[in-house]
Amino acid sequence: MSSSIQRIGVFTSGGDAPGMNAAIRAVVRTGIFHNKEVYGIMQGYEGMIEGDVVKLGARSVGNILQRGGTILKTARSEEFKTKEGRKKAYDELRKVGIDALIAIGGDGTFTGLHALYHEFKMPSLCIPGTIDNDIAGTDYTIGFDTATNTAVEAIDKIRDTALSHNRLFFIEVMGRNSGYIALYSGVAGGAGAIIIPESETSFDKVYDLLTAGEITNKRSNLVVIAEGSKIGGANEIARKVAERSSYFDIKVTILGHLQRGGSPTYFDRVLASRMGVAAVEGILAGETDAMVGIRDNKIVFNPFDAVMNRPHDIDHDMLRIAKILSI
Protein backbone atom coordinates (compact mmCIF):
# COMPACT_ATOMS: atom_id res chain seq x y z
CA MET A 1 0.00 0.00 0.00
CA SER A 2 1.19 3.50 -0.88
CA SER A 3 2.39 5.69 1.99
CA SER A 4 2.50 8.82 -0.19
CA ILE A 5 -1.30 9.13 -0.19
CA GLN A 6 -2.51 10.30 3.21
CA ARG A 7 -5.81 12.09 2.58
CA ILE A 8 -8.51 10.75 0.26
CA GLY A 9 -11.44 12.82 -0.95
CA VAL A 10 -14.73 11.08 -1.85
CA PHE A 11 -17.71 12.63 -3.63
CA THR A 12 -20.85 11.78 -5.59
CA SER A 13 -21.75 13.45 -8.86
CA GLY A 14 -24.50 13.38 -11.49
CA GLY A 15 -27.77 11.55 -10.87
CA ASP A 16 -28.23 9.89 -7.50
CA ALA A 17 -28.52 6.10 -7.31
CA PRO A 18 -29.49 3.76 -4.45
CA GLY A 19 -26.31 2.28 -3.01
CA MET A 20 -24.20 5.43 -3.23
CA ASN A 21 -24.26 5.75 0.56
CA ALA A 22 -23.06 2.16 0.91
CA ALA A 23 -20.12 3.02 -1.38
CA ILE A 24 -19.32 6.17 0.63
CA ARG A 25 -19.36 4.11 3.83
CA ALA A 26 -17.00 1.53 2.32
CA VAL A 27 -14.55 4.17 1.08
CA VAL A 28 -14.44 5.94 4.45
CA ARG A 29 -14.03 2.85 6.57
CA THR A 30 -11.48 1.24 4.24
CA GLY A 31 -9.43 4.42 4.22
CA ILE A 32 -9.46 4.58 8.02
CA PHE A 33 -8.62 0.86 8.21
CA HIS A 34 -5.46 1.63 6.22
CA ASN A 35 -4.61 4.60 8.46
CA LYS A 36 -5.61 7.30 5.96
CA GLU A 37 -7.81 10.35 6.47
CA VAL A 38 -10.97 10.55 4.37
CA TYR A 39 -12.83 13.75 3.46
CA GLY A 40 -16.30 14.06 2.01
CA ILE A 41 -16.71 16.67 -0.73
CA MET A 42 -20.25 18.05 -0.73
CA GLN A 43 -22.27 18.78 -3.88
CA GLY A 44 -19.93 17.06 -6.32
CA TYR A 45 -17.66 19.20 -8.49
CA GLU A 46 -19.51 22.35 -7.45
CA GLY A 47 -18.60 21.74 -3.81
CA MET A 48 -15.03 20.95 -4.84
CA ILE A 49 -14.73 24.41 -6.41
CA GLU A 50 -16.28 26.04 -3.35
CA GLY A 51 -14.10 24.13 -0.88
CA ASP A 52 -17.15 22.52 0.75
CA VAL A 53 -15.26 19.65 2.39
CA VAL A 54 -15.79 17.80 5.67
CA LYS A 55 -13.62 15.20 7.40
CA LEU A 56 -15.39 11.85 7.82
CA GLY A 57 -14.87 9.24 10.51
CA ALA A 58 -16.10 5.68 10.93
CA ARG A 59 -19.08 6.93 12.96
CA SER A 60 -19.86 9.66 10.40
CA VAL A 61 -20.97 6.95 7.99
CA GLY A 62 -22.84 4.81 10.50
CA ASN A 63 -26.47 3.94 9.71
CA ILE A 64 -26.29 5.05 6.07
CA LEU A 65 -25.88 1.63 4.41
CA GLN A 66 -29.64 1.22 3.98
CA ARG A 67 -30.43 4.79 2.91
CA GLY A 68 -31.16 5.85 -0.65
CA GLY A 69 -29.76 9.01 -2.21
CA THR A 70 -26.39 10.36 -1.12
CA ILE A 71 -25.40 12.00 2.16
CA LEU A 72 -22.77 14.00 0.27
CA LYS A 73 -25.43 15.49 -2.03
CA THR A 74 -24.88 15.87 -5.74
CA ALA A 75 -24.95 18.71 -8.25
CA ARG A 76 -23.88 19.50 -11.79
CA SER A 77 -21.19 22.12 -12.35
CA GLU A 78 -20.78 24.11 -15.54
CA GLU A 79 -17.74 25.89 -14.08
CA PHE A 80 -15.86 22.62 -13.59
CA LYS A 81 -16.09 21.99 -17.34
CA THR A 82 -13.61 24.84 -17.81
CA LYS A 83 -9.88 24.59 -17.12
CA GLU A 84 -10.15 27.61 -14.80
CA GLY A 85 -12.87 25.87 -12.81
CA ARG A 86 -10.81 22.72 -12.46
CA LYS A 87 -7.83 24.80 -11.30
CA LYS A 88 -10.01 26.31 -8.57
CA ALA A 89 -11.15 22.84 -7.53
CA TYR A 90 -7.59 21.52 -7.39
CA ASP A 91 -6.40 24.49 -5.33
CA GLU A 92 -9.22 23.94 -2.82
CA LEU A 93 -8.35 20.26 -2.52
CA ARG A 94 -4.72 21.06 -1.86
CA LYS A 95 -5.67 23.57 0.85
CA VAL A 96 -7.15 20.65 2.79
CA GLY A 97 -4.24 18.39 1.88
CA ILE A 98 -6.31 15.95 -0.19
CA ASP A 99 -3.93 14.00 -2.41
CA ALA A 100 -6.25 11.40 -4.02
CA LEU A 101 -9.86 11.33 -5.19
CA ILE A 102 -12.57 8.67 -5.41
CA ALA A 103 -15.74 9.65 -7.29
CA ILE A 104 -19.07 7.82 -7.43
CA GLY A 105 -21.13 8.59 -10.51
CA GLY A 106 -21.57 8.07 -14.23
CA ASP A 107 -19.99 9.02 -17.52
CA GLY A 108 -20.01 12.79 -16.89
CA THR A 109 -18.29 12.22 -13.56
CA PHE A 110 -15.61 10.14 -15.25
CA THR A 111 -14.99 12.82 -17.88
CA GLY A 112 -14.41 15.48 -15.22
CA LEU A 113 -12.08 13.34 -13.14
CA HIS A 114 -10.14 12.23 -16.21
CA ALA A 115 -9.50 15.89 -17.12
CA LEU A 116 -8.49 16.74 -13.54
CA TYR A 117 -6.00 13.86 -13.45
CA HIS A 118 -4.36 14.81 -16.74
CA GLU A 119 -4.03 18.47 -15.77
CA PHE A 120 -2.85 18.06 -12.17
CA LYS A 121 -1.82 14.38 -11.84
CA MET A 122 -3.90 13.81 -8.71
CA PRO A 123 -4.45 10.05 -8.29
CA SER A 124 -8.12 9.26 -8.93
CA LEU A 125 -10.55 6.40 -9.37
CA CYS A 126 -14.26 6.22 -10.15
CA ILE A 127 -16.98 3.90 -8.89
CA PRO A 128 -19.88 3.49 -11.37
CA GLY A 129 -23.09 4.68 -9.72
CA THR A 130 -26.07 5.04 -12.07
CA ILE A 131 -29.42 3.28 -12.25
CA ASP A 132 -29.21 3.00 -16.06
CA ASN A 133 -26.44 0.35 -16.04
CA ASP A 134 -25.07 2.12 -19.11
CA ILE A 135 -21.34 2.13 -18.28
CA ALA A 136 -18.94 -0.05 -20.28
CA GLY A 137 -16.40 -2.17 -18.41
CA THR A 138 -18.70 -3.49 -15.70
CA ASP A 139 -21.54 -6.00 -15.65
CA TYR A 140 -23.50 -3.90 -13.16
CA THR A 141 -23.53 -0.34 -11.88
CA ILE A 142 -24.61 0.68 -8.38
CA GLY A 143 -28.34 1.41 -8.30
CA PHE A 144 -29.45 -0.64 -11.31
CA ASP A 145 -30.69 -3.59 -9.28
CA THR A 146 -32.71 -1.40 -6.91
CA ALA A 147 -34.23 0.66 -9.73
CA THR A 148 -35.21 -2.49 -11.61
CA ASN A 149 -36.79 -3.99 -8.50
CA THR A 150 -38.75 -0.77 -8.01
CA ALA A 151 -39.97 -0.97 -11.61
CA VAL A 152 -40.95 -4.63 -11.23
CA GLU A 153 -42.92 -3.88 -8.07
CA ALA A 154 -44.84 -1.16 -9.92
CA ILE A 155 -45.42 -3.39 -12.95
CA ASP A 156 -46.83 -6.15 -10.72
CA LYS A 157 -49.32 -3.70 -9.20
CA ILE A 158 -50.30 -2.29 -12.57
CA ARG A 159 -50.89 -5.81 -13.88
CA ASP A 160 -53.53 -6.36 -11.16
CA THR A 161 -55.61 -3.43 -12.37
CA ALA A 162 -54.93 -4.25 -16.03
CA LEU A 163 -56.41 -7.72 -15.53
CA SER A 164 -59.33 -6.42 -13.51
CA HIS A 165 -60.39 -3.92 -16.18
CA ASN A 166 -59.09 -5.64 -19.35
CA ARG A 167 -56.74 -2.73 -20.03
CA LEU A 168 -53.61 -2.25 -22.08
CA PHE A 169 -51.00 -0.36 -20.06
CA PHE A 170 -48.00 1.43 -21.49
CA ILE A 171 -45.41 1.75 -18.70
CA GLU A 172 -42.46 4.09 -19.19
CA VAL A 173 -39.29 3.51 -17.17
CA MET A 174 -36.02 5.43 -17.03
CA GLY A 175 -33.31 4.87 -19.61
CA ARG A 176 -32.52 7.76 -21.94
CA ASN A 177 -29.78 5.88 -23.80
CA SER A 178 -29.96 2.44 -22.22
CA GLY A 179 -32.74 -0.13 -22.18
CA TYR A 180 -31.44 -2.24 -19.30
CA ILE A 181 -34.15 -1.26 -16.79
CA ALA A 182 -36.91 -1.72 -19.37
CA LEU A 183 -35.55 -5.06 -20.60
CA TYR A 184 -34.98 -6.65 -17.21
CA SER A 185 -38.12 -5.29 -15.54
CA GLY A 186 -40.17 -6.15 -18.62
CA VAL A 187 -39.04 -9.79 -18.60
CA ALA A 188 -39.50 -10.03 -14.82
CA GLY A 189 -42.94 -8.39 -15.05
CA GLY A 190 -44.21 -10.50 -17.94
CA ALA A 191 -44.58 -7.63 -20.42
CA GLY A 192 -46.18 -8.38 -23.78
CA ALA A 193 -43.71 -6.04 -25.47
CA ILE A 194 -40.51 -4.23 -24.48
CA ILE A 195 -39.29 -1.16 -26.35
CA ILE A 196 -35.72 0.03 -25.81
CA PRO A 197 -33.34 2.46 -27.54
CA GLU A 198 -31.01 -0.34 -28.69
CA SER A 199 -33.68 -2.31 -30.58
CA GLU A 200 -34.70 -1.84 -34.21
CA THR A 201 -38.40 -2.28 -33.44
CA SER A 202 -40.78 -0.11 -35.47
CA PHE A 203 -44.17 1.13 -34.32
CA ASP A 204 -45.84 -1.11 -36.90
CA LYS A 205 -44.16 -4.19 -35.43
CA VAL A 206 -45.30 -3.25 -31.93
CA TYR A 207 -48.83 -2.58 -33.18
CA ASP A 208 -48.97 -5.93 -35.01
CA LEU A 209 -47.76 -7.73 -31.88
CA LEU A 210 -50.49 -6.13 -29.76
CA THR A 211 -53.33 -6.58 -32.24
CA ALA A 212 -52.41 -10.23 -32.72
CA GLY A 213 -53.94 -10.66 -29.27
CA GLU A 214 -57.39 -9.87 -30.70
CA ILE A 215 -57.42 -13.32 -32.30
CA THR A 216 -57.27 -14.94 -28.84
CA ASN A 217 -59.42 -12.25 -27.21
CA LYS A 218 -56.47 -10.92 -25.22
CA ARG A 219 -57.55 -7.52 -23.92
CA SER A 220 -55.20 -6.92 -20.97
CA ASN A 221 -51.50 -6.47 -21.62
CA LEU A 222 -48.42 -4.54 -20.55
CA VAL A 223 -45.87 -2.74 -22.70
CA VAL A 224 -42.68 -1.53 -21.00
CA ILE A 225 -40.91 1.35 -22.71
CA ALA A 226 -37.54 2.96 -21.97
CA GLU A 227 -37.84 6.75 -22.00
CA GLY A 228 -35.24 6.97 -24.78
CA SER A 229 -37.19 4.75 -27.18
CA LYS A 230 -36.58 5.77 -30.79
CA ILE A 231 -40.27 5.36 -31.69
CA GLY A 232 -41.51 7.65 -28.92
CA GLY A 233 -42.39 7.61 -25.26
CA ALA A 234 -45.34 5.88 -23.61
CA ASN A 235 -47.81 8.70 -24.24
CA GLU A 236 -46.94 8.97 -27.92
CA ILE A 237 -47.08 5.24 -28.61
CA ALA A 238 -50.35 4.88 -26.67
CA ARG A 239 -51.88 7.69 -28.72
CA LYS A 240 -50.84 6.07 -31.98
CA VAL A 241 -52.33 2.72 -30.97
CA ALA A 242 -55.59 4.38 -29.92
CA GLU A 243 -55.80 6.18 -33.28
CA ARG A 244 -55.61 2.88 -35.15
CA SER A 245 -57.75 0.63 -32.97
CA SER A 246 -60.69 0.93 -30.57
CA TYR A 247 -60.19 -2.64 -29.34
CA PHE A 248 -58.07 -1.69 -26.32
CA ASP A 249 -58.86 0.30 -23.18
CA ILE A 250 -55.52 2.10 -22.99
CA LYS A 251 -53.79 3.63 -19.96
CA VAL A 252 -50.32 5.11 -19.48
CA THR A 253 -48.08 5.11 -16.39
CA ILE A 254 -44.74 6.93 -16.27
CA LEU A 255 -42.64 5.78 -13.30
CA GLY A 256 -40.10 8.63 -13.52
CA HIS A 257 -37.88 9.50 -10.57
CA LEU A 258 -39.61 6.96 -8.34
CA GLN A 259 -36.94 4.59 -9.65
CA ARG A 260 -34.08 6.68 -8.26
CA GLY A 261 -35.12 6.54 -4.62
CA GLY A 262 -35.65 3.96 -1.94
CA SER A 263 -33.54 1.69 0.20
CA PRO A 264 -30.96 -0.20 -1.90
CA THR A 265 -31.38 -3.94 -2.38
CA TYR A 266 -28.93 -6.35 -0.79
CA PHE A 267 -27.26 -6.72 -4.19
CA ASP A 268 -26.58 -2.99 -4.54
CA ARG A 269 -25.35 -2.77 -0.93
CA VAL A 270 -22.89 -5.61 -1.44
CA LEU A 271 -21.81 -4.35 -4.88
CA ALA A 272 -21.22 -0.84 -3.52
CA SER A 273 -19.31 -2.20 -0.53
CA ARG A 274 -17.05 -4.32 -2.72
CA MET A 275 -16.38 -1.46 -5.12
CA GLY A 276 -15.73 1.02 -2.29
CA VAL A 277 -13.15 -1.23 -0.67
CA ALA A 278 -11.56 -1.96 -4.05
CA ALA A 279 -11.35 1.74 -4.94
CA VAL A 280 -9.40 2.65 -1.79
CA GLU A 281 -7.10 -0.36 -1.90
CA GLY A 282 -6.62 0.11 -5.64
CA ILE A 283 -5.62 3.75 -5.39
CA LEU A 284 -3.23 2.97 -2.52
CA ALA A 285 -1.70 0.23 -4.68
CA GLY A 286 -1.09 2.63 -7.57
CA GLU A 287 -4.24 2.29 -9.69
CA THR A 288 -5.29 5.67 -11.10
CA ASP A 289 -7.21 7.33 -13.94
CA ALA A 290 -9.48 4.29 -14.00
CA MET A 291 -12.92 2.94 -13.08
CA VAL A 292 -13.61 0.11 -10.69
CA GLY A 293 -15.85 -2.50 -12.31
CA ILE A 294 -17.16 -5.98 -11.75
CA ARG A 295 -17.03 -8.64 -14.44
CA ASP A 296 -17.92 -12.29 -13.89
CA ASN A 297 -18.19 -11.44 -10.18
CA LYS A 298 -14.57 -10.28 -10.02
CA ILE A 299 -13.33 -6.73 -9.37
CA VAL A 300 -11.50 -5.16 -12.32
CA PHE A 301 -9.92 -1.76 -13.04
CA ASN A 302 -10.74 -0.20 -16.41
CA PRO A 303 -8.68 2.70 -17.81
CA PHE A 304 -10.95 5.73 -18.30
CA ASP A 305 -10.11 5.82 -22.00
CA ALA A 306 -11.60 2.33 -22.35
CA VAL A 307 -14.96 3.16 -20.77
CA MET A 308 -15.71 6.86 -21.26
CA ASN A 309 -18.44 7.60 -23.80
CA ARG A 310 -18.77 3.93 -24.65
CA PRO A 311 -22.11 2.17 -24.25
CA HIS A 312 -22.67 -0.94 -22.19
CA ASP A 313 -23.91 -3.25 -24.94
CA ILE A 314 -27.41 -4.58 -24.35
CA ASP A 315 -27.84 -8.26 -23.48
CA HIS A 316 -29.06 -9.65 -26.82
CA ASP A 317 -29.83 -13.07 -25.37
CA MET A 318 -32.20 -11.38 -22.91
CA LEU A 319 -33.86 -9.66 -25.88
CA ARG A 320 -34.35 -13.07 -27.49
CA ILE A 321 -35.81 -14.46 -24.26
CA ALA A 322 -38.20 -11.49 -23.99
CA LYS A 323 -39.48 -12.14 -27.51
CA ILE A 324 -40.06 -15.84 -26.83
CA LEU A 325 -41.93 -15.21 -23.58
CA SER A 326 -44.17 -12.43 -24.94
CA ILE A 327 -46.44 -14.74 -26.99
Residue 102 near residue 69 (C-beta atoms within 8 A): no
Residue 178 scores a pLDDT above 70: yes
d(CA 191, CA 225): 10
Report domain extents, the chain.
Answer: 7-143+264-307, 144-260
Single out the residue of 78, 21, 45, 8 nearest to residue 263, CA to CA: 21
Q: Is 132 a catalytic residue?
A: yes
3-state secondary structure of 38: strand
Q: What is residue 310's predicted lDDT score, i.e. its pLDDT?
A: 86
Spatial CA neighbour of 292 closest among 208, 303, 200: 303
Q: Report pLDDT for 214.
A: 67
Residue-wise pLDDT for 37-86, tens only, equals 999 999 999 999 999 999 999 999 999 999 999 999 998 899 999 999 99
Write out pLDDT tens, residues 186-214: 999 999 999 999 988 899 999 988 888 66
Q: Residue 65: how many CA atoms within 13 Å on its side-chain side? A: 14
Mean pLDDT of 272-283: 98
d(CA 327, CA 230) in angstroms, rounded, equals 23
Q: Is the pLDDT of residue 11 over 70?
A: yes
* Nearest one of 222, 252, 112, 128 to 178, comparing CA atoms: 128
Tell me, what's the pLDDT at 51? 97
Percent of the chain with pLDDT over 90: 86
User: Contact 127/292 with Cβ under 8 angstroms?
Assistant: yes
pLDDT reported for residue 210: 87
Task: From 20, 106, 82, 145, select the one nearest 310 (Cα to Cα).
Answer: 106
pLDDT at 326: 81
Alpha-carbon distance of 149 to 265, in angstroms, equals 8
Q: What pLDDT shows up at residue 245?
A: 87
CATH architecture, range 7-143+264-307 = 3-Layer(aba) Sandwich (3.40)
pLDDT band at 12 (very low <50, low <70, confident <90, very high): very high
Cβ count near 225 (within 10 Å): 30
Contacts of 149 (CB under 8 A, 6+ apart): 265
Q: Which of 132, 134, 145, 289 is catalytic?
A: 132
Percentages (nearest 5) of helix, strand, coil residues in the chain: 45, 20, 35
pLDDT digits (tens, 9 = 90+) for 220-265: 899 999 999 999 999 999 999 999 988 889 999 999 999 999 999 9
Q: Round to whole Å and give the CA distance between 293 and 271.
A: 10
Q: How far apart are CA 54 and CA 18, in angstroms?
A: 22
| Domains 7-143+264-307 and 144-260 are alike in CATH topology | yes
Mean pLDDT of 5-29: 97
**First and final C-alpha spacing in the chain:** 56
Give the pLDDT band of residue 216 (cuts 50, 70, 90): low
Number of H helices, E strands in the chain: 11, 11
Question: pLDDT per residue over 142-151, tens digit each?
Answer: 999 999 999 9
Task: Look up residue 87 and give its amino acid.
Answer: K
SS3 137: coil
Q: Answer yes or no: is pLDDT of 2 > 60.
A: no
Average per-residue pLDDT for the chain: 94
Q: pLDDT, tens digit, for every residue of 72-116?
A: 999 889 999 999 999 999 999 999 999 999 999 998 999 999 999
**CATH number of the 144-260 domain:** 3.40.50.460
Whether the predicted pLDDT of 3 surpasses 70: no
